[in-house]
Structure 1
Amino acid sequence: MTLLAVERMKLFTTRSPWWCALVALAVTIGFSALVVGEAADSGPFAPTVASTQFGYSFGMAVIMVLAALAVTTEYRFGTIRTTFQAVPNRTAALVAKATVVALVALVIGELSAFGSWGIANLLKPNAPLALDSGADWINVAGVGAVYALAAVIAVAVGILLRHSAGAIALLLIYALAVENLVRLIPGIGDDIYQWLPFNVANKFLTGDGASDLGRNAEAGAPLSNAVLSQGWSLAYFAAVAVALLAIAIGVARKRDA
């Protein structure tokens, strides 16, 4: 618990987490307001629960920036050496850091998801936006879990690269572009894409489209083509995050700080 408290204090004594949290909330809730505001009040093009979460991937990108900076800033200013001197068990120190960042990401994710859903209800009070099913609840409440695991991935990349610009560039390019570009590979692109982590995370959130009332053209981001069920999709994404963190910690233990 002491390590967690220390990591919490280190995280929130800098400005970047506060700015990243505000940007993540503004981006996700702002996108929801734009999408829902342009939708019809009723009929086939009325907003759905899923369309309120249209901007979650953009907020997730900001969360990964926050998580990467939580690690790379320490390497940049050399404070990671002090951390490892105070806590010779590097595994415990880095796991504590990843846990704190993941918990912060979880809270931001829930605030952004329910904030997006709330603003949609204010803008379109007559639209079918009630959380009436498990699929609806997962589509909204599940955003926090995805943000938390994405933050763990970002922490792992930050540990491996130790350079802010490089880690952030790699994370953003991969999450926002590379996975979709894989689909362009002739013959095997779609088969590979089915197992890529952020596509699988999207499957956890959207499932088979039950929270989108049939997925009309205005109903937000496209459905995932991942072959796993929603529950196994979350487990798969979590396994990827934990595996990357384990690799990163193993590398950190063997090299100089």
Structure 2
Amino acid sequence: MTTTYASASELGAAEPRARFHDLVAAEWIKFRSLRSTWIAYGATALAVIAFNAGTAYDTYNYWPARSPADQADFVRAGIPLQEAFTANAAVVMMLALGAIGAVAIIGEYSTGTIRTTFAAVPARRWVMAAKAVVVTAVATVFGAIVAGASFGLTQAILGGRDAGISISYPGALRLVVASAFLAPLCALAGLAIGAVIRHTSATMTASVVVILVLPIVLTDGRHWSAVAGHATLYQAWSRLVEVGSRQTDFPWTTGGAWTVYAVWALTAAVLAVTSAQRRDQ
């Protein structure tokens, strides 16, 4: 009996190439298998909602101490919107989601499993694109749940004093959407920073600087500083959730803030996808 062996080239040709949805499924399996990821998401959700609900409860608790004039101006001034998603809650979510997005890639670099991934799928850009899709999708769902829950809970608490508002109130839907999208944008930014730097401590430091420090340092005192500050995520979010028109020497529109969101998403995605191709693991 004659035994026939297939050549290596024939075996390679017979093996199907990984399709993009297969890569997305593989990245999803890796992502959801990490218990620490879900703990981080859960802790962040509780912290963000607690910040917002705590602010609304303080208003509820001290409502009788307000003068009738203050009570009458509370809703008219848009303060329920400010308490629906506070600046402190936004900072917590931004820092946490930036770290979660960064860990999605630097975790593989620190353990060396990224070598196995790239050996199995040499098309590195497609691997990183799939990772970006999973990170963005999960963070988007997370942001929508947290922003929606925060709005509903805070307005229910304020409603006990007849001071709550509905989602149809001017600017309410924009606040919820802007706060929800802040989560995937920060997660994608963290992924991009991690893909470029690839070291845990340096990545976390850079994430804090980009997400938190720059918006604080860049003020509206001068034109160049104001323009640069407007290009940061935090200041874009602040403009989108702003109640009324703030008096400033260098005003900008909500359309400009939405543009900043879009530019950040596109830039972070491009950096995350292309960085793996240009460098060795």
TM range (shorter): 0.7 to 0.9
Looking at structure 1, the residues matched to 188 and 251 of structure 2 have their Cα atoms a distance apart, in angstroms, of 21
Distance 1:14 1:178 in 2: 31
Residue 254 in 1 paired to residue 274 in 2?
Answer: no
Specify whether residues 128 and 185 from structure 1 end up closer, same or farther in structure 2 by C-alpha distance, changes over 3 A only. closer
Distance verdict in 2 for CA 1:3–1:106, change over 3 Å: same
What does residue 146 of structure 1 align with?
182
Give CA deviations for 1:36-67 in whole Å, capped at 9, x if unaligned.
Answer: 11115443346513321111231122111111
| 1:52 paired to 2:84 | yes
What amino acid does structure 2 have at the position aligned with 1:164? T
What is residue 31 of structure 2 aligned with on the other side?
Answer: 11
Counterpart for residue 131 of structure 1: 167
Summarize the Cα distance change of 1:239–1:190 in structure 2 as closer, same or farther, 3 Å threshold. closer
Gaps of 5+ in 1: 216-221
SS at match of 1:157: helix
1:202-247: CA deviations, max 9, x gaps? Answer: 32x31x525xxx89xxxxxx99x762433x4223322223223323
Tell me the amino acid that sits aligned with residue 254 of structure 1: R
Residue of 78, 81, 88 corresponding to 2:122: 88
Distance change in 2, residues 1:192/1:74 (3 Å): same
Counterpart of 1:65?
99
Rg (Cα) greater in structure = 2
- Change over 3 Å in CA distance of 1:173–1:17 after alignment to 2: same
| Alignment TM-score, normalising by the size of structure 1 | 0.85
- What is the CA deviation profile of residues 106-159 of structure 1, one whole-angstrom value per residue up to 9, with x for unaligned ones? 111111111111221332222232111462112113322221122111110010
| Alignment match, 1:229 | 254
**Aligned Cα root-mean-square deviation (Å):** 2.5
Is 1:173 matched up with 2:205? Answer: no
Gaps of 5+ in 2: 1-20, 64-70
**Is residue 61–residue 175 contact of structure 1 (8 Å, CA) maintained in 2?**
yes
Counterpart residue identity of residue 16, structure 1: S
Q: Which amino acid aligns with 1:25?
A: A
- Conservation of the 8 A alpha-carbon contact between 1:28 and 1:56: yes
Q: Distance in 2 between matches of 1:119 and 1:149?
A: 24
Kindly, what percent of the aligned residue pairs are identical?
23
Aligned to 2:154: 120
Amino acid paired to 1:51: E
- Letter paired with 2:49: I
CA deviations on 1:56-86 (whole Å, 9 max, x unpaired) are: 2311221111111011000000111111111
CA contact (8 A) 2:104 2:191 kept: yes
Cα pair distance change 1:89/1:114, threshold 3 Å: same
* 1:78 aligns with one of 112, 118, 122: 112
Aligned length: 244
CA shift for structure 1 position 12? 1.1
Cα 1:95–1:23 shift into 2, 3 Å: same
In 1: Cα distance, 2:223 partner to 2:259 partner? 28
Q: Tell me the residue number matched to 1:33.
A: 53
